[in-house]
Amino acid sequence: MVTRGIYPGRFQPPHLGHLYTIKWALERVDELIIVVGTAQESHTLSNPFTAGERILMLREGLKDVGVDLTRVYIIPVADIYMNAVWVHYVAMLVPPFRYAISRNPLVIRLFKEAGYEVLVPPPYNRELYSSTRIRRLMLQGSDEWRKFVSPSIAKIIDSVDGVRRLIEISGRD
Which residue stretches of 77-144 are H helix? 83-93, 105-113, 131-139
pLDDT per position as a tens digit, 110-151:
999 999 999 999 988 877 899 999 999 999 999 999 999 999
pLDDT per position as a tens digit, 18-76:
999 999 999 999 999 999 999 999 999 999 999 999 999 999 999 999 999 999 999 99
> Nearest CA to 102 among 82, 80, 84, 117?
117
Residue 173 predicted with pLDDT over 70: no
61, 19 Cβ separation under 8 angstroms: yes
- Under the banding of pLDDT at 50, 70 and 90, the label for residue 1 is confident
Mean pLDDT throughout 9-26?
A: 98
The CATH class of 4-170 is alpha beta
> Nearest CA to 100 among 7, 3, 2?
7
Secondary structure string (H, E, C) spanning 53-91? HHHHHHHHHHHHCCCCHHHEEEEECCCCCCHHHHHHHHH
Mean pLDDT throughout 5-22?
A: 98
